[in-house]
């Protein structure tokens, strides 16, 4: 997402600069930019005063631009009454997701999502449908705050990873299951492609 042309000259805040710096650190950790380039770009980030000066420092990175100077909704409510609800592919993750199931299922796939720096709170209420949370490597998940009745709570993701983003799952599993896992690996028979 690019900054609107009429906003390029607007003043950036400290929070805007920190968001851009966090993306640069993430890019360096993934091997997308070198340590020397990271230092160079960070110097420009902290010297930047406008959105137009920040944008070119990250517009060649695939993890997505932060929405500079705009407030995004902090909470998204998802309800699966009968049909399934899915969030997958490339999507911007809010800080708080409320996932409520009646008889349908909710699938939250964070594999290609743009996660905010810091904690994302996923609040589940699984009556009879299930909630599946899929997270990429390097993102820890804590699900100790999920109570259960007859439904199962399974967390196959360790909470000991240090990363810029982390997910905390809280709430209640009635008759539905709550499953937290990494993406499934696809094996090829004839070598890597």
The predicted pLDDT at position 55 comes to 86
pLDDT score recorded for residue 2: 43
Q: Is the pLDDT of residue 188 over 70?
A: no
Which of the pair, 161 or 6, is modelled with greater confidence? 161
pLDDT of residue 104 exceeding 60, the answer is: yes
Rounded to an integer, the average pLDDT of 4-28 is: 78
Task: Kindly report, residue by residue over 41-96, the tens digit of the pLDDT.
Answer: 999 999 999 888 988 898 887 655 555 555 456 889 999 988 899 999 988 899 89
pLDDT higher than threshold 60 for residue 5? no
Cα dihedral 38, 42, 48, 51 in deg (nearest 10): 60
Helices (H), the chain: 14-29, 35-47, 51-54
Under 8 Å CB-to-CB from 59, ≥6 apart: which residues? 2, 65
Whether 62 contacts 1, CB under 8 Å: no
Would you say the pTM of this structure is higher than 0.75? no
């Amino acid at each position: 997402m690019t900054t609107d042309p009429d906003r390029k000259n607007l003043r950036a805040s400290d929070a805007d600069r920190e968001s851009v710096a966090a993306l640069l650190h993430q890019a360096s950790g993934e091997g997308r930019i070198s340590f020397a380039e990271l230092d160079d770009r960070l110097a420009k980030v902290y010297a930047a005063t406008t959105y137009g000066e920040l944008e070119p420092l990250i517009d060649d990175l695939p993890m997505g631009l932060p929405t500079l100077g705009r407030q995004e909704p902090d909470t998204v409510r998802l309800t699966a009454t009968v049909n399934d609800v899915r969030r997958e592919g490339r999507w911007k993750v809010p800080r708080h997701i409320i996932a409520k199931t009646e008889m349908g299922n909710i699938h939250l796939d964070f594999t290609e999502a743009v996660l905010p720096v810091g904690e994302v709170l996923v609040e589940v209420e699984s009556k009879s449908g299930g909630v599946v949370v899929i997270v990429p490597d390097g993102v820890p998940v804590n699900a100790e705050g999920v109570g259960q009745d007859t439904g199962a709570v399974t967390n196959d993701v360790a909470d000991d990873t240090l990363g810029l983003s982390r997910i905390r799952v809280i709430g209640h599993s009635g008759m539905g299951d709550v499953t937290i896992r990494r993406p499934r690996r696809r094996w090829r028979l004839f070598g890597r492609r």
